[in-house]
Amino acid sequence: MKARSGRLMNFNKGTTTLAFVFDGGVLVAVDSRASMGSYVSSQTVRKVLHITDRLIGTMAGGAADCQFWERHLGRLCKLYELRNKQRITTAAASKMLANIMYSYKGYGLSCGTMIAGYDANTGPALYMVDDQGTRIKNNMFSVGSGST
């Protein structure tokens, strides 16, 4: 893209996902662009994925990796709820995903995600899980190449 001066403008930022916890829940904001370097393949990607009625996940990294593993997490959470007859907590769901990511460490996955949810006993919760199996709880995260 060229600026009015005729010089090329350099846009090196990609995905940006942001979330923070407040008294009433978790606020999550994401962009909708899929890109690889300077190539933009889509402007309408949905980067917030439904996991359960009280849990969502965000996508940053490889869209295929993020979508596959977060949808798989949704199936595992549903199984947990059917077997145990209670809702899975945000902590337990994020731990499941972190364990999966850790078991595939070194396989070249590209996935940075936030798991956000609301638990009946503890209230709102937010975790970041990356493709190395790292899992961190905090009140605020920004994940993706556009978050630097």
Active site residues: 15
Of 64, 125, 136, the C-alpha closest to 98 is 136
Task: Kindly state the helix (H) or strand (E) to which residue 102 belongs, with its residue range.
Answer: helix 90-103
Q: Which residues contact 54 (CB under 8 A, 6 or more apart)?
A: 87, 90, 117, 118, 119
* 65 SS3 class: helix
- Rounded to an integer, what distance in angstroms lies between the CA atom of residue 32 and that of residue 77? 26
Tokens of 75: 């199936």
Strand residues in 31-72 grouped as ranges (E): 34-36, 39-42, 48-52, 55-58, 60-61
